[in-house]
Structure 1
Amino acid sequence: MIAVTILYPAKEAAHFDATYYVETHMPASMHRLRSALRGVTVSQGVTGIPLGSPPPYFAVCELLFDSTDAFLAAFSPHAEWLQGDIKKYTDVEPVIQISEVKIHRQFVAQL
C-alpha cells in the first residue's frame, strides 16, 4: 500500500480556506479518485510543539492506494482539475510525498 501525503505549509500571510478544502475540494477529489482510493485522512493544524506555537501546516491530507500504478491510473485523467482547483483554496505550494505504508492500524477504544 502507498500513501500520497499532501502537506500545506502554514506560511505567514498565506491563505488557506479550510471550509472549501474540506467541504468542496476533498469530496470532489475523492469522487474522482474513487476507482483506486482505499482510504483518506484530512487533518487541520491546531498547534506546533511546543504547545501553543503556530502549527507548521495548515492541513495534511493522506490518500491511500494499493500501489503507485493504481494511484497514477486514477489521478492522471483528473490531474488538470485536481491541480487547477488548488488556487481556489490556497496560495501556498503543497508539498507532496509518496510513501510505502509500513504500519496501518485502526483502533477502537476499549472501555
Structure 2
Amino acid sequence: MKSKLIVTFVLLTTCLAAFSQEKHQASVAEKGLLKVVVMYPYAEGKTFNMEYYETKHMPMVAGFLGANLVKYTIEKGLASGMPNQPLPFMAIGTFYIKSLSEYQAAIGPHRDAIRADFANYTNISPVILVSEVVK
C-alpha cells in the first residue's frame, strides 16, 4: 500500500513539473510577440455568428498574414467578471504576430474584403487593440 502511494506521488509530482515547465515555455515563447486583438462589444440587439467567424472569417484573415502569424485564438464571451453585469464582449479574436509593419502590409490590400465579410457574421463594429506580450 505504501509503495502504491509513493508511485502515485512520484507520478503526480512528475506531471505537475511537466505542466509547469510547459506553461513556462509557452509564456517565454510568446514574450515579445505582438497581439492584434479584435473585440466585439456586447449590446442589446447585436448578433454574432460564431460558427462563421471560426470556420470562415478568421481563417481567411489568418491566410493573409503568412509567416508573420505565429498563432491565432478565438474566444466566445460567456459572462461578465462581476455578478449581474452585462457581458462586455460577445467574442474576441486574437492574432499573435512577429511584426506590426508586416501585419499592416499584409492586411492593407485586403482591408475592404475583410470589412465586407463582417456582414456575414455580425452587426457589431469591432474594437481593435494592438499590444506587446511582456510576460
> Could you say which TM-score interval applies, normalised by the shorter chain?
0.7 to 0.9
- Matched residue SS, 1:59: strand
Determine the structure 2 residue equivalent to 1:81.
Answer: 113
Matched with 1:33 is 65
How far apart in 2 are the matches of 1:18 and 1:63?
17
Structure ranking higher on relative contact order (CA contacts 8 Å, 6+ apart): 1
Of the two, which has the highest radius of gyration? 2
1:22 aligns with 2:54: yes
Residue of structure 2 aligned with 1:8, choices 40, 55, 79: 40
Displaced runs of 4+ in structure 1, greater than 6 A? none
Q: How many residues align?
A: 103
Which residue identity is paired with 1:66?
A: K
Return 5+ residue gaps in structure 1 as ranges. 104-111
Q: CA deviation at 1:52?
A: 6.5
Name the CA distance, whole Å, in 2 between partners of 1:66 and 1:32: 14
Give the AA of the match of 1:96.
I
Structure 1 vs Structure 2: percent identity of aligned residues? 30
Q: Over aligned residue pairs, what C-alpha RMSD do you find? A: 1.5
Using structure 2 for the length normalisation, give the TM-score: 0.69
- Unpaired runs of at least 5, structure 2: 1-32
Return the alpha-carbon distance in structure 2 between the equivalents of residues 34 and 42 of structure 1. Answer: 18
The 5 A counterparts of 1:58-97 are: 58-97=90-129
Tell me how far 1:53 sits from its aligned partner: 4.6
Higher strand share: 1
Amino acid at match of 2:127: V
